[in-house]
Amino acid sequence: MSVIEAIILGMIQGATEFLPISSSGHLVILPAIFSMTSPDLTMIGVLHLGTLVAVLIYFWRDLWAIVMAVLRGLAQKQPFATTEARLGWLIALGSVPAVVLGLLFAAALEEVFSEPAAAAVFLLVTAGLLVGGEKMLSGSKMPAQMNWKDALTIGSFQAFALLPGVSRSGSTIVGGLIRGLDRPTATRFSFLLGVPAILGAGLLSLVDILTEAAVNSPATYAAGFVAAAITGYLCIHFLLRWVRSHTLYIFAVYCTLIGGGYLLVTLLTSR
């Protein structure tokens, strides 16, 4: 893999991990469309670590406040005394569905990930989710008003994003909208809920990095890592600003064009 390809893959991972357009779908479909070198396990791990760094840097103040509030609440035997402490427990609860389903269906999910056509279909599902979420937007619930039902609902939507082509950020934002959160609050909670998921992927990626033989140069891996981290940070900032005054319809249109376009081209070229 060339350094240019690594940078492109890093930018794809960084952008699609946080924009509601599915990182897994793009990493499956785009290399197939443009005949790019498929990333090895080490490269995939490096790219995940890049997005992990992006989200940790962007939300470090929020994350520090949440961790400290949870620890303080446990020490004082008042675990839900503050909004930050409650938020920490809601994030933990919301992470459970994805962990359980990921462990139960790991083999089946790995098989689905090898099919670009499946990713294209699920991109269309993501488009439908985004449109449906916007249609159901009706509330203005803030973090202090969230409860365990909100966390489990949003977490269940995150578990759905284990399928390639279903956007993790998009599905969790939609879950928040369904539970009455406004768009900015749903988006921010989506990113915070994603930290354990991205951290878990990053830890698994470290295992791959340590156990797999590297097939690319250190410069190639470094280029992918930096591209993923920088692009991810910028896209977090962009989306948080975008949802203050814009809908998610533009991302639904994009997913429809990519997913539908790939299926159409595949159908025409298979004849």
Q: Where are the domains of the chain?
A: 3-269
Q: Which of 10, 53, 17 is nearest to 169 (CA)?
A: 17
Q: 134-188, pLDDT tens digit by residue?
A: 888 777 788 888 888 999 999 999 888 888 788 888 899 999 998 889 888 999 9
Global pTM reads 0.84
Q: 9-24, pLDDT tens digit by residue?
A: 899 889 988 898 887 7
Query: Taking the C-alpha atoms of 223, 226, 228 and 234 in order, what is their torsion angle to the nearest 10 degrees?
Result: -140
Token match 């499946």: residue? 118
Q: Where does residue 25 rank: exposed (0-12), middle (13-18), buried (19+ CB within 10 A)?
A: buried
Residues linked to residue 141 through DSSP beta bridges, in sequence order: 181
Q: Rounded distance, CA 204 to CA 201, Å?
A: 5
Q: Rounded distance, CA 187 to CA 237, Å?
A: 11
- Position 108 scores a pLDDT of 63
